[in-house]
Structure formats: C-alpha cells, structure tokens
Amino acid sequence: MTSPVTELVDLLALERLEDNLFRGQSRDIGTKYVFGGQVLGQALSASQATIDAKHPRDAHSLHAYFLRAGDIDAPIIYQVDRTRDGGSFSVRRVTAIQHGQVIFFAAASFHKQEEGVAHQLSMPEVPRPDDLPNADPVPDGVLATLPTKVQRWLDRAGPFEFRHVYPRDELNPPKRPPYQQVWFRLAERIGDAPELHRAMLAYASDFHLLGTANFPHGISYYQPGVQMASLDHALWFHRPFRADDWLLYSIDSPSAQDARGLARGQIFDTQGRLVASTAQEGMVRVLKDTD
C-alpha cells in the first residue's frame, strides 16, 4: 500500500503536457473541495519546472488568489507564463484551470543565490516537539456523529505529523487569543531536491493558518454554521530547510472583519532559523439559524 507521503510526492509531480503546460491530479482528504495547499504546491511545482537548469535560481516568493472552488474528481491544468528572466530574478505566472474555468492564479518569483545583509526575528520560546504528545484521536462515538467528509478529515493518516504547543478542541472550541504555535514535519524522509521541499512547505502552509482567525470567537471549520474559504495566500522562502525535519509554525491573526479574517505565519527550523513566512486572508462566515 502506498504511504501518504509517497502519495503526496506523486501528487506534486505534475505531468508535463507541453513546455509550459502541466496536469495535476487531486486527492480527497476530507475537504468539500480541493485543498488549497494542494493547488499552491502544484502551482509552485509547475513554475519551478520552467526555470532553466543552466541558470539556477530558487523560488523566494509566491502570491496566489483562489477564485473558484476546485473539483476533487477532476484534474487541474496549470499554464505557466514565463513572464521574465532577468540577470538575477525570474518571474512566472501560473493559471490553474478546471472545466474550462480559471480557479486560481499565482505569481512566483525566483532569485539566484547572492551574498547580502541578513537578520531575522527570534523564534518564540516554546516546548520542543519531542516534549509534546501526539494529538489524541477523536473518540469513535463522537466521530460517528459528524458528517462523512469531516470524519474522513479527522480520521485519516495524513502525510504530515502535527504537534500543537497549545492544543484546542476544534469540535468544542473555547474562545482564545488569536495566535498558536504548531510543530510539523513529513511523516517519512524524502529526497534532497530543494524544489520538492519548497512544494511540500507550500502544501503544508495552508494547514492551521486561517483557522487562527476563529480563536477569539470560539468557532471552528467543523461547525455546521461556519463557512470558510481561502481568498489569497502569500509565501516567502528565506533560508534552506527540509520539510521532513521538524518546523515550527508560529501564527497570529491581527484582524477579522466584514466576513474576512487575516492570518500571518512564521516558520522556523529547530535551530531557530526563520525559513519562511506566510500570510492569508480568507472568508469566515457564521450563518444565522434559519429555524
């Protein structure tokens, strides 16, 4: 049986149809529509595949917009526009298409390695991942009362392992300040290609990010009256890392208003190096009872 990590590696390895045209498959992981992190990771994979190996440069930023919900049962076509190849930077625009409609677009920027000034903010002082327990599984009796999609999401063995510094009961969420720290890593070792590790991080960066905007309101994605959807996503890569080593995702939500929430994240390795940063705004609607 194929492991979840191997499935994700295969999911991010797109089929090349033409020089700038790729096809990706989708996986049902328990979300109603295609998981946003999947589209982010595949779009980054497509753009990375168009960088000339004779002039290597690494992805340093990705800015994306989610326009339509993705169909889990259909492949996604990724069209890459080679917008610019300069002396130091390259820019790619990626459009994701399903059923003849654009569901997502992104711009990715690449930079050749250069020496320069360097600084970073310090990593928060939190327990190490080995000092934190794995999350307790949802009891079978509780799981059986939930919608089928939610059951699949909560009961699946995913490719990433997560350990929350301050665990929160998402089925009965308390009100808390809008921040959290989560250690995560791939459940198995993968190859050394930096492009693969960046695509993996793009995939993982969509977990837990927008949900932080729910904390002050005592709501969660699993509640029937709560609707959530990613509107945009920004990701910056700062330093080399491995997605199969422990990484700390430190997230806060500075604002929520007008049925939208904003969340920001910093990702550190175990040595305290800031390896990536994220930001995302999403729709957060709490539906009123119609009874």
Whether residue 25 lies in the annotated active site? no
User: Which residue from 33, 47, 58 is spatially nearest to 230, judged by alpha carbons?
Assistant: 33
Choosing from 45, 230, 250, 266, the catalytic residue is 230
User: Closest Cα to residue 158, out of 259, 31, 287, 25?
Assistant: 31
- Whether 38 sits among the annotated catalytic residues: the reply is no
Alpha helices in 156-263 (DSSP H): 194-204
Residue 243's contacts (CB-CB under 8 Å, 6 or more residues apart) are: 185, 186, 190, 196, 197, 200, 201, 204
Choice among 38, 180, 206, 250 that is catalytic = 206
What are 259's two structure tokens?
């049925």
* Active-site residue (options: 47, 180, 205, 280): 280
Among 245, 241, 249, smallest CA distance to 280 is for: 249
Strand 226-237, strand 274-286: pairing: antiparallel
DSSP string, 55-75: S--EEEEEEEEE-SPPPTTS-
Is 225 within 8 Å of 289 (Cβ atoms)? yes
The amino acid sitting at 245 is D
Q: Has 206 been annotated as catalytic? A: yes
| Residue given tokens 């809008």 in the structure block | 178
Catalytic site positions: 206, 230, 280
